[in-house]
Amino acid sequence: MKPFDYFSRLSVPASTLLGLGLLCAPSAQADFLADSKGSLELRNFYFNRDFRQPGSREKADEWAQGFLLRMESGYTEGTVGFGLDALGMVGYKLDSGPGTAGTGLLPADTRHGGSQDSYGKLAAAAKVRISNSTLKVGSFQMKDPVIISNDTRLLPGTFQGALVNVQEIDHLKLTGGSFDQIRYVDSTDDQKMTANRIGGSSDKFQFAGADYQWSPNLLTQYRYGKLEDIYQQNFLGLVHNWDLGQGQSLKTDLRYARSAEDGNFRPLDNRALGGMFTYSFKGNSLGFGYQRMSGKDPFPYIGHSDPYLVNFVQIGDFANIDERSLQVRYDYDFAQLGLPGLTFMTRYVSGDNVQRTIPGEGKEWERNTDIGYVFQDGALKGVGVKWRNATVRSNFGNDLDENRLIISYTLALW
């Protein structure tokens, strides 16, 4: 099947179709076209996860090629401007098998086992701008302290709903949204939302909050989020960058979330405190993180999405009941040695004090290493290569060794 054959089979929100209709008028196309941009991203993704604990499957191992066509329009002229954003995605299996599927790169083949040979999906949203405020309605990626789309596999996940941003007062940004469905990274279907580790399902997630930029170096945030009939959450955040002079800086990132049940869902209690402190000097960055879970439950967040936690890393989130975790991280940019484009990162996170279903204290640790290079010139200019390695050991969960090799390239179309 040809790639664009997929798109004809995908449903598009009615609001997006309305936006398309409005944009068909010739008088509405000036800034809509002039300020538009488009790109084609290619992702070649190899994923290998070895399971090390007795009695488990041996490994998950797949290789796939993805294409992501991103189109973002400007806004039409006038007091009220209209626009349209779209993300078309296609993925192809290059190597897999019934015994090695399940990496999250490709949808499962429920008929024959293993993974599907190819799949495609479309996320499209209409948008409206009045003054410095915008409304977006449709399907799109989200990145906010209480709702974050997963983008760690071949194709990203998306949410369906509406998002509003209001920036009419200097330094203050008000934001809010309502979402009714989620589409997983390895799925073409929109589904109800669930709560990670908590259970239940809901067709409504709503949030609202504010960001205030006190100075170029100090940002504070507040959010209230609610997955209807499952959990509600209050979030406070602070990010401060301190310029120490002579190429040195210290970044402080503090986060606190208080979660409780919503509606008639079972009693739920979690308090999550986290902080990351990063010292940077001439291409070197050294970070120390601390995260603490309190209460009778693990940290709740939308299943198949990402939590906004300082110790959420390549595999683990270190957000179990009563868990305490420490992180040490080091980054280096080899441009300081005359090798621009080459970067290195390694980190180690250790968690303990976890409540287990059997007697004894739960403990886990994870070690990550990333090495990346972006070609600076020649025929391969702009091509990025990244190797990601992870090792996880736990006395209450899976023992894993994981490698990801990602080759990417983004071509600007206009």
Query: With contact defined as beta carbons under 8 Å apart, do 193 and 179 qualify?
Result: yes
User: Residue 69: inside a domain, yes or no?
Assistant: no
**pLDDT computed for residue 10 by the predictor:** 41
* pTM summary value: 0.91
Q: Is 413 a domain residue? A: yes
Is residue 13 in a domain? no
| Percent of the chain scoring above 70 in pLDDT | 93
pLDDT band for 29, please (50, 70, 90 cuts). Answer: low
**Which whole-number Å values give the CA distances from 148 to 163, 175, 182, 289, 373, in the listed order?**
13, 14, 11, 21, 26
Q: Has residue 4 got a pLDDT over 60? A: no
CATH number at residue 226: 2.40.160.10
Residue 32 reports pLDDT greater than 90: no
Range of 387's domain? 210-414
What are the tokens at 249? 């800086």
Phi (first) and psi of residue 69, to 5 degrees: -100, 110
Decide if 2 is inside a domain.
Answer: no
Of residues 143, 398, 146, the one with CA closest to residue 272 = 146
Using 50, 70 and 90 to split pLDDT, how confident is the model at 5? Answer: very low
Residue 349 located in a structural domain: yes
**Quick one: pLDDT at residue 30?**
55
Name the pLDDT band for 54 (thresholds 50, 70, 90).
Answer: confident
**Percentage of the chain exceeding pLDDT 90:** 88
Establish if 366 belongs to a structural domain.
yes
Residue 8 has pLDDT above 50, yes or no: no
pLDDT in the model for residue 19: 52
Mean local confidence (pLDDT), 163-171: 98
- Interval 97-126 mean pLDDT: 95
Cβ-Cβ contacts under 8 Å for 20 (sequence gap 6 or more): 84, 126
Number of domains comprising the chain = 1
In a domain, 315, yes or no: yes
Whole-angstrom CA distances from 336 to 246, 278, 373, 375 are 15, 19, 14, 16
Dump pLDDT digits (tens) for 282-335: 999 999 999 999 999 999 999 999 999 999 999 999 999 999 999 999 999 999
Task: Give the pLDDT of residue 56.
Answer: 84
pLDDT value, residue 34: 87
Instruction: Assess if residue 19 is contained within a domain.
Output: no
- Give residue 392's pLDDT band: very low, low, confident or very high (50, 70, 90): very high
Flag whether pLDDT at 26 surpasses 70. no
Task: State the CB neighbour count (10 A cutoff) for residue 377.
Answer: 8
